[in-house]
Structure 1
Amino acid sequence: MEEGNVVRASGVGWDAVREKLFAARLHAARVRPYLAVALFALRTVESRRVLTMAVDRHWRCYVSPSFVARTPVEELAGVWVHEVSHLLRDHHGRGDRVARQRGLTGPHERLRMNIAADFEINDDIYGDGLVPPSGAALPGALGLPGGQLMEDYLRMFRLGSPLGDLAWLDCGSGADGLEREWELGAEGADGLSAQQQDAVRFRVAEGITGRPGHAPKGWRRWAEEAFHPPQPWRELLGAAVRSAASAPGAGEDYTYGRPSRRAAGVPGVVLPSLRRRPPRVSVIIDTSGSVSDAELGSALLEVAAIARAVGGRRDLVTVVPCDASARIVHPLCRGEGIPLMGGGGTDLRSGFSRALRAPHPPDAIVVLTDGQTPWPATSPSCRTVVGLFPRSRPVTSYDEDDPDYVPDRPPAWTRVVEIGSPPGMG
């Protein structure tokens, strides 16, 4: 039976605690108004199989009546915010992805994900009228730095003392992606669809970005990513760049600072050794008339992702805007300060030439383009990755003398990654 937005699992004692529970949610909404939409979207389920409160990936909140009865309203408000934070930050989806990527299996690894996700949340959500619940897991308790993401914290600790005191934590599948036997599942009553969940996240992100400086740093970062979510092609592009930059010979140089071990076989001769240095990457951005302003904006986001893919050394990433000619090589200090001027025809061969003539030649070249360009006849001396803005149908050339021209695919010596989807496509 349903009352308001409460799904009744059993009636024993529930009415006695419901008023206190909802008073705590109202308090949470008052002190964190940008989370109100998400707090009131949760569907509450009474459950005597959870120790405190927990959420499933379908936006149901399971509540222990005895926990509510013994917990002050101010602390309950903090628990409300904590649990809804798991869902807003997609810890269930991220937990599934990191489990696949790192081969993490079993309930112990999911518990570790739950604790890492708690560290991400609890680091900065409390204060300013929100009281941390008793026993809240904080990264400082393990001497870990604040401001990290769940994926980062997972690399920083293993289960064991002093984590034994946290073994009781179980925030449900909403915190780590692993469905519990006491959850109602995908077919249960009143779960939110994926579209409804995205709508809630968008409205919360809109509320945060609409009041700059009002939300903590972690929430502001989350809101920015909600409007520009990580995309599968970005992971592919990053992997392609790392592969190109780590190719044999890339980022290697000779140094006499540490003599070669082979010098022992040549008495009296000092031989240099090979030194691995961070790779240099040159990004050629197509600024011709066939590339839209939205795609140019996306290109700058990709430049930031490329910098992260090579270890965050922005000083080793350069940007070459190019339409029919390349004018200047820009060092990557702040991506938003790079002028993407152009708008004419396209010939990215000049961009390749400019990048390769730089004082410090790149170890890898990344080209962000719609593909409507002639390509160099031969492979450059370094690996090349092409981020290709796709089109819904073959796009003809802007050359009025040949209106039926269809651009060639990038050469076989490039690694091609499709970036996003064309307008009007899913």
Structure 2
Amino acid sequence: MSTAAASTQARPLTSEEREAFRVVRLVAFQQMPYYAAGLFSLIPVAVPGYGTWAVDRWWRLYLDPELLVGESAWTVREAGGVLCHELNHLLRVHAERALALPQPYRHDVWNLAADAEINDDLLDAGVELPEGVVTPAALGCADHGLAEDYYEHLINDQDNPDDPDDTASAEDEEPGCGSGAGLAPVPGELPPSHAVDGQNGVDEATGGLIRRQIAEAVRESAGTGRGTVPAGLQRWADGVLTPPKVPWHRVLRSLTRQAVVEAAGRVQFTYTRPSRRQSPGLILPSMRGPKVRVAIVLDTSASMTSADLLAGMSEIRGVLKSTGISGDRLTLLTCDAANGTPQRISRVENAVLTGGGGTDMRVGIAAADALRPPPHVTIVVSDGDTPWPDRPPRSKLVCVIVGNEHAATRTPGFALTATVPSGAGS
């Protein structure tokens, strides 16, 4: 694409340009009909001399009119492909994803990576694009990857001191795809509240609704078998339509560590070892923090599988090990409703799945409370289908609910609660 710098500020399209844009948008719709909600939400703005097309965060399309009408214009099908390309920067939230890169990030490198993530899917769908567009293969990468992986690959290559082609950023020389792609704003980019031909920009909430509408259309089109829906685009739609999952391992680690740190912070005064700070005529006590003891109560009823137990235990043991808790300061107990005397075991792999009747984790919690010396933290791993104690135990209670998100809402308010998907340990 052209490397010319923008010579004027953004302006509305002329009547000729507006008519040409309508034709291009219709062609884009014919190529990818499931993009309709997005294509008709873009607000075109002319930026003469910019050398390419770009988007901002408010779904405004900045286009160089020379590429829309005139001798140097793209073909209608190529322009329709570029329109789908720019829309994809907004659908794939490249601006937000760029903020998660190691800062400061290279705008020019991110532009290449984001373009490559888009273009292989468009080409798979049979969309025409101008000659020389960036693809993963051109970057030395496999198709259908993520822009973040392409970015890392490019950065690693350019950081090679033996590479003679390693140069400084070319942001100022090449026009980018705009702030909507996570790049520098187009020269003369309009403020968020500015209306173009009576149209205000698309706000974040509305943009989210448009993405979801397009994702549903993509899934429906893929399900009917009409047309060509690239596999990468189907994965994108699935990601939009699938409810975001809480990273359970991170939550569990955080709660376990929180309980241990809280227990460790319960310092006591002791005269066994006097304080180094002395006052005339006084013997001052020193402060001593407890060596935290942890009891882990495992639900071994019929509804719990070995994979479920391992799912919770693998993360818990990793946290406890990192905080220095092991050996005689860690006790494992197994429990179900039929087993009134919980087993004490040294390894979770040795737990016996008794499978008796139902589940009553109050038995296990009470048994943990009765240990001598008592634990500071009691961690219960269960499917949650159990009665819970009405009063808090002496130790801090952490409830790890496996494969039963609804049961997590029934744990007592004095406990810390995390949920783990069933079979996550398999």
Tell me how far apart the structure 1 counterparts of residues 84 and 302 of structure 2 sit (CA, whole Å): 45
Alignment of 1:291-370 (within 5 A): 347=361
The reply to whether residue 135 of structure 1 matches residue 132 of structure 2 is yes
Tell me how far apart the structure 1 counterparts of residues 299 and 232 of structure 2 sit (CA, whole Å): 33
* Per-residue deviation, 1:239: 3.7
Alignment of 1:89-104 (within 5 A): 89-96=92-99, 98-99=100-101, 102=102, 104=103
Identity between Structure 1 and Structure 2 (%):
30
Alignment of 1:199-238 (within 5 A): 199-211=209-221, 212=223, 214-230=228-244, 233-234=246-247, 237-238=248-249
The reply to whether residue 182 of structure 1 matches residue 192 of structure 2 is no
Tell me how far apart the structure 2 counterparts of residues 345 and 365 of structure 1 sit (CA, whole Å): 12
- Quote the residue 2:67 is aligned against: 67
**Is this contact kept in 1: 2:58–2:203, CA < 8 A?**
yes
SS in 2 for 1:54: strand
| 1:282-304 residue CA offsets vs partner (Å, 9 max, x unmatched) | x999999xxxxxxxxxxx9xx8x
**Is this contact kept in 1: 2:121–2:232, CA < 8 A?**
yes
Counterpart amino acid of residue 10 in structure 1: R
The Cα RMSD (Å) is 4.9
Structure 2: runs of 5+ lacking an equivalent: 1-8, 159-164, 257-297, 319-334, 340-357, 366-378, 421-426
| 1:185-239 residue CA offsets vs partner (Å, 9 max, x unmatched) | 32222101222112211111111111325511111111111112546x43xx444
- Quote the residue 1:147 is aligned against: 144
The reply to whether residue 10 of structure 1 matches residue 11 of structure 2 is yes
- Quote the residue 1:409 is aligned against: 414
SS in 2 for 1:210: helix
**Is this contact kept in 2: 1:74–1:131, CA < 8 A?**
yes
* Per-residue deviation, 1:181: 4.7
* Per-residue deviation, 1:324: 6.5
**Is this contact kept in 2: 1:55–1:174, CA < 8 A?**
yes
SS in 2 for 1:94: helix
Tell me how far apart the structure 2 counterparts of residues 123 and 285 of structure 1 sit (CA, whole Å): 50
- Quote the residue 1:261 is aligned against: none
**Is this contact kept in 2: 1:91–1:117, CA < 8 A?**
yes
SS in 1 for 2:238: helix
Counterpart amino acid of residue 121 in structure 1: I
SS in 2 for 1:71: coil
| 1:264-299 residue CA offsets vs partner (Å, 9 max, x unmatched) | xxxxxxxxxxxxxxxxxxx999999xxxxxxxxxxx
- Quote the residue 2:90 is aligned against: 87
Counterpart amino acid of residue 11 in structure 2: S
- Quote the residue 2:110 is aligned against: 113
Segment drifting more, 174-183 vs 369-378? 369-378
**Is this contact kept in 2: 1:285–1:368, CA < 8 A?**
no
- Quote the residue 2:37 is aligned against: 37
1:349–1:64 CA distance, 2 compared to 1 (3 A)? farther
**Is this contact kept in 1: 2:176–2:183, CA < 8 A?**
no
1:226–1:408 CA distance, 2 compared to 1 (3 A)? same
* Per-residue deviation, 1:169: 4.8
- Quote the residue 1:125 is aligned against: 122
Q: So what's the TM-score if we normalise by structure 1?
A: 0.55
Larger radius of gyration: 2
1:128–1:118 CA distance, 2 compared to 1 (3 A)? closer
Tell me how far apart the structure 2 counterparts of residues 45 and 180 of structure 1 sit (CA, whole Å): 11
Alignment of 1:38-57 (within 5 A): 38-48=38-48, 50-57=50-57
Instruction: Select 2:201's aligned residue among 191, 198, 203.
Output: 191
- Quote the residue 2:27 is aligned against: 27
Counterpart amino acid of residue 113 in structure 2: A
Tell me how far apart the structure 1 counterparts of residues 124 and 84 of structure 2 sit (CA, whole Å): 12
* Per-residue deviation, 1:384: 9.2
Tell me how far apart the structure 1 counterparts of residues 98 and 91 of structure 2 sit (CA, whole Å): 13
Q: So what's the TM-score if we normalise by structure 2?
A: 0.55
Number of residue pairs matched by the alignment: 293
| 1:42-83 residue CA offsets vs partner (Å, 9 max, x unmatched) | 111111263211000111101101122321111101101100
Tell me how far apart the structure 2 counterparts of residues 185 and 325 of structure 1 sit (CA, whole Å): 68
1:48–1:203 CA distance, 2 compared to 1 (3 A)? same
1:152–1:55 CA distance, 2 compared to 1 (3 A)? same
1:366–1:407 CA distance, 2 compared to 1 (3 A)? closer
**Is this contact kept in 2: 1:82–1:121, CA < 8 A?**
yes
Tell me how far apart the structure 2 counterparts of residues 378 and 325 of structure 1 sit (CA, whole Å): 24
1:243–1:223 CA distance, 2 compared to 1 (3 A)? same
SS in 2 for 1:62: strand
Tell me how far apart the structure 1 counterparts of residues 338 and 202 of structure 2 sit (CA, whole Å): 51
